[in-house]
Copies of this chain bind each other. A is one copy, B any other.
Amino acid sequence: MKNKDIIEKLLNKRLKVTPQRIAVMEAIEGLKNHPTAEKITGFVKIHHPNIATGTVYKVLETFVENKLVAKVKTEKDVMRYETHSEVHHHLYCSESDRIEDYEDEDLNILLKEYFNKKKLRNFRISDIRLQIIGKFTNNNSIKN
């Protein structure tokens, strides 16, 4: 079922379906909080000890190129990954490595309107992302 979805994603991008690619995609989906490459290789190795680290990196690169996953920028210097989806923003905890998604259509509209009015010279906007930095006041999700 879930496997079937992954296979479909790969086929849609005309990528070959390999056990390694499925394993990496499962890892990113299975791990929450926007895992680092290392977390991903760790997860993959637990479930498939025979998959090489270098392969995981190559698969990640392929996924990013094909927009199946996206890189997330952090305050720190480690790259994180997430399965690619709608436009969304991120809440960064300033005291831990927690990252959560923030999606809100009103916000997107607001930004779009703002930049339509503002009209930056010499720059064509393709994407806008907010980094909302602060502190989580409990362990629950932020979602309303």
Contacts and interface: CB of A to CB of B under 8 A. Distances in A.
Interface in A103-140: 104, 106-107, 110-111, 114, 118, 120-138, 140
- The majority secondary structure among interface residues of chain A is mixed
Given A74-B73, A114-B110, A133 B142 contact: no
Given A126-B94, A128-B132, A131-B131, A121 B144 contact: yes
A132 B126 CA distance: 8
Contacts of A124: 134-135, 137
Contacts of A73: 73-75, 131
A69 interface: no
B138 A133 contact: no
A137 B128 CA distance: 17
Nearest to A135: B124
Contact of A107 (B71, B77, B114, B144): B114
13 contacts: A73-B73, A73-B75, A77-B79, A91-B123, A94-B126, A102-B120, A123-B132, A123-B135, A123-B137, A125-B132, A125-B134, A126-B134, A130-B130
